[in-house]
Amino acid sequence: MLAATQTKVAAAAVGTSLADTAALLESLTKDPEAEAKALAKAEAKKAADDAAAIEAAKPPLTYWEKGPHPPSRPPVTVTFHISMETNFGDHLCIVGGHDLLGDWVPAKGVEMDWVKGNDWKVSVALPAHSLLQYKYVIRSGWADDGTCTWQGGPDGLIATGAAHSSQVIQDRWVHGNWQADNPNVAAIPAAVLAHQAVKTPEVWEFSNKANTSYLPDWANDAVFYQIFPLGYFGAPTVNDQKSAVVPRLKQIREHYKHFQELGIDAVYFSPLFESGTHGYDTFDYFEIDRRLGDVKLFKQIVKELHEIGIKVVLDGVFNHTGKGHFAFQDLMVRGCLSFPNPTHTVLSLSW
């Protein structure tokens, strides 16, 4: 094959230039099959490079990606009841901070139905996932600019969640004009303002990842020994926040041998953070209850338990606090002023 090709090239090269001879030689020595494979490989590489470039140009995938919105919730039927003595020709209505409640204009409010005696009621379909202010008003006559007597005290507040299709409100008439700086009066609009800053489920952004909680492998078959430390170690019922630290937690050392004999894998401590009484009314998540000891002692206990092969699990109780918590104390003193804006962070924990 090679000899035949060389002969063919030599014959064709007679009387041609060196360049023409080289070109002729290249054409005669080409392998069409190999060239086709090389071309296919190059095209595949280009396609892969193009796809990678397109993917790289996309914005990074964040945890919270827009997902399909759930269907809108149907309205919640709220039935209001109130008892109030009225004069002949007077009638009650409800007004509030929503179009369906007249936007605080009595002439546009919801007229109530007289039931009997001094009892009035009315049912109103209000949007789900709403927090609405409202007030009762006695209207004298039907003129838009007629005399109106507003209920005293703070505004009423109705929350329409998704758990119920109907709600019943039984109110009492409050007399007297409470001033706007009254903490109970000021707290209502502050709550509504904070609620308005929260997105309803219809506009939530849903995760593009599975919301999965992972249980450590060791916990699947572990045997837990639960301890309610305040009772287990004989602490006083009430924490006066003044007494000296008493290291009652160290009594657990007397039970190490018993734990090992039982063959337990972990100790589960019920609340042991600084609290007012039973541990679930937490005052400070960063301190051990003074009736039990302190952080230094607790760290040592954890270390000792680990050394004998026993893990430690805590009941954190992070979804509510006690009255002695700094955020609640500030709220009691300054009312709605405790929250300078609806997104104010009261407590942030890092673990």
CB 122 within 8 A of CB 111: yes
* CB-based contact 124:117 (threshold 8 Å): no
Q: Where are the beta strands (DSSP E) in 55-89?
A: 76-83
pLDDT of residue 350: 33
Indicate the helix (H) or strand (E) that contains 279: none
Q: What is the mean pLDDT of residues 123-135?
A: 90
The distance of Cα 120 from the centroid of its chain, to the nearest Å, equals 39
* pLDDT band at residue 347 under the 50/70/90 scheme: very low
The predicted model scores a pTM of 0.45
CATH superfamily of this structure's domain 217-336:
Glycosidases (3.20.20.80)
Q: Which amino acid is at 213?
A: S
Q: How far apart are CA 106 and CA 315, in angstroms?
A: 51
- The predicted structure's pLDDT at residue 21: 62
pLDDT for 198-209, tens place per residue? 666 655 555 555
What average pLDDT does the segment 98-115 reach?
93
29: CB partners within 8 A, 6+ apart? 5
Judge contact between 346 and 194, C-beta under 8 A: no
291 close to 230: Cβ distance less than 8 angstroms: yes
Task: Give mean pLDDT, residues 250-265.
Answer: 96
pLDDT score for 89: 87
Average pLDDT, rounded, for the chain: 82
CB–CB of 291/248 below 8 Å? yes
Q: By three-state DSSP, how is residue 96 classified? A: strand
Region 76-203: CATH code: 2.60.40.10
Which 3 state secondary structure label does DSSP give 292? coil
User: Does the structure show a pLDDT above 70 at 12?
Assistant: no
Task: Give the pLDDT mean for 80-97.
Answer: 92
Give pLDDT, residue 5. 55
Domain residue spans in the chain? 2-57, 76-203, 217-336
